[in-house]
Structure 1
Amino acid sequence: MVVIEPTPSEKESSRRVNLTPEPKSKPSASSHGGTSAAGDSSVGFGTSSGGEFNAVDDKGDERQHQQQQKEQEQPQSLESASDAESTLKALEEANYAKLEGNRLFRAGQYEEALSQYGLALQVAPDMPSSVEMLSMCHANRALCFLKLGKYEDTIKDCTKALELNPNYVKALLRRGEAHEKLEHFEEAIADLKKVVELDPSDVQARRTIQCLEPLAAEKREKMKQEMIDKLKDMGNSILGRFGMSVDNFKAVQDPNTGSYSVSFQK
């Protein structure tokens, strides 16, 4: 179930929608859930609270509307009235595209939602009141990519959202899940550790880290062995010209000094 906060213009037609605003500075453990792009559960990206992790972010629209009114009322000393009007119009257009993207996401039309979020990112003016909306559009677009199984794109958009809002828990969780899907276990763990740093009470994030750490260690060992095998192949290709191989050379450790010496064996 997608949880989304309506704008003032949507309140009359959306009485049945749950209002669950996301805290700005210290998000709670209920800010995420665990459904992956393919509908299955990841190693541990779920919480006991339900599906807010899979909900597009729509908070701040009423606040943005109030901010627009304030900016419209303030005297324009650095730009002309026409420029100010164009800026506000662009912000309203971006906000509308974002809301349309949310509607399409709720309908399961992820490709169409992507287009609307992209339009919002394109037309939004470069001003402080746009930052929160832009970070949400990046995070919501990342969620669409996650649903479509486009994990690399998910990571890119989450990263952009986090550049605008470094404490954005949902973006961290979505990027962490995408990293897990791509078996980037170290990166997934790093994102979850940031979540725990922001919210030490997030038990699910701690459990997920515990699940991913053995996988990360196994992958490190596998990569190490692959590197050794590549070096052996390279050495054999050179030594083979002289009728030798790396197996002719043995590393022997000195028990007194701990240093190694290489001996040749036929």
Structure 2
Amino acid sequence: MVLIQAEESSEVDPPTSRSEPSRSANANRDASDGFETASDTDLPSDDDGAGNSNSNNNGGAISSGGDGPPQAHSDHALNDDEEKLKQKALAQANDAKSEGNKLFGDGLYEEAISNYDLALQVAPDTPSSVELRSICYSNRAVCFLKLGKYEETIKECTKALELNPTYMKALTRRGEAHEKLEHYEEAIADMKKILELDPSNDQAKRTIRRLQPLAEEKREKMKEEMIGKLKEMGNSVLGRFGMSVDNFKTVKDPNTGSYSISFQR
């Protein structure tokens, strides 16, 4: 079996916060051969909500005129609290992912998977966390790849791509897992998607050229197996009449490509 040589597939993606230093050279090194990954993003600033709340001289409060409760002020304070909770959850998710990267660098793949899973659980379901969640799914995928769990690798990469369809690392890792399972057609499809995103990607081109003959060989093998099963079924029926499929000869017309069948004793 031939394997995709995609060095970048063995590395997890770095933390999304620029302020966090690299904990492990192996965990954060982008060893991609021309492949890109989703760009890192900063966590939302804790000052964003506070700055908006203090934009007027009354500290964000709106006078009720003495006729009722300051509802607008309460709603504004509630929105600020919700935003702060989301920012805190996103920070916790980034911390869990960073710990997962460290564990991956130490070769503790099962433990790393648990930390990426924790990050996915605490990350808020908001647009600001889409990149973080897609990276965590892709990083879980590479851990499963290291553990030889290729079906799980494919599932995790697919989840990452649902969030970020242009995530080429996820495409590469899924393609590698498909090849290890001898899903050559699917692996080629992932490489073609990479070329749609990056037409100059030589690694994807080389992989396609290498896998195409393997895919053709597998198709022919599957065809032969199918014909063999059909013959067995045919013989089981024709045997009742003292015949077999060997009594029937198929001839292909070179001009039309169609087949004709003749009976022979």
- Give the TM-score range, shorter chain: 0.7 to 0.9
TM superposition score normalised by structure 1? 0.75
- Name the counterpart of 1:30: 34
Letter in 1 for 2:108: Q
Q: Is the 8 A contact 1:138 1:157 kept in 2?
A: yes
Query: Gapped runs of 5+ residues in structure 2?
Result: 1-9, 54-74
- Name the counterpart of 2:169: 170
- Name the counterpart of 1:120: 119
Inter-partner Cα distance in structure 1 for 2:126 and 2:255: 68
- Name the counterpart of 1:196: 195
Inter-CA distance 72–124: structure 2 relative to 1 (3 Å threshold): farther
Larger Rg: 2
- Name the counterpart of 2:59: none
Show the 5 A alignment for 1:196-215.
Answer: 196-215=195-214
Inter-partner Cα distance in structure 2 for 1:163 and 1:134: 11
1:64 aligns with 2:43: yes
- SS of 2:154's partner is helix
Inter-CA distance 98–74: structure 2 relative to 1 (3 Å threshold): farther
Inter-CA distance 74–104: structure 2 relative to 1 (3 Å threshold): farther
Inter-partner Cα distance in structure 1 for 2:245 and 2:90: 66
Letter in 2 for 1:64: L
Q: Is the 8 A contact 2:50 2:80 kept in 1?
A: no
Q: Is the 8 A contact 1:141 1:157 kept in 2?
A: yes
- SS of 2:43's partner is helix
- Name the counterpart of 1:230: 229
Inter-CA distance 85–241: structure 2 relative to 1 (3 Å threshold): same
Matched residues, number = 234
Inter-CA distance 238–137: structure 2 relative to 1 (3 Å threshold): same
**1:58-88 deviation per Cα after TM superposition (whole angstroms, max 9, x unaligned):** 9625x1244x653565557595444333333
- Name the counterpart of 1:241: 240
Letter in 2 for 1:70: D
Inter-partner Cα distance in structure 1 for 2:127 and 2:135: 14
- Name the counterpart of 1:139: 138
TM superposition score normalised by structure 2? 0.75
> Residue 143 of structure 1: CA displacement?
0.6
Q: Is the 8 A contact 1:21 1:59 kept in 2?
A: no
- Name the counterpart of 1:84: 83
Show the 5 A alignment for 1:142-153.
Answer: 142-153=141-152
Q: Is the 8 A contact 1:236 1:246 kept in 2?
A: yes
- SS of 1:244's partner is coil
Inter-CA distance 254–74: structure 2 relative to 1 (3 Å threshold): same
- Name the counterpart of 1:158: 157
- Name the counterpart of 2:68: none
> Residue 264 of structure 1: CA displacement?
2.5
State the identity as a percent.
61
Q: Is the 8 A contact 1:29 1:201 kept in 2?
A: no
Inter-CA distance 259–93: structure 2 relative to 1 (3 Å threshold): closer
**1:209-262 deviation per Cα after TM superposition (whole angstroms, max 9, x unaligned):** 111100001011111111111111111111112222111122356789876443
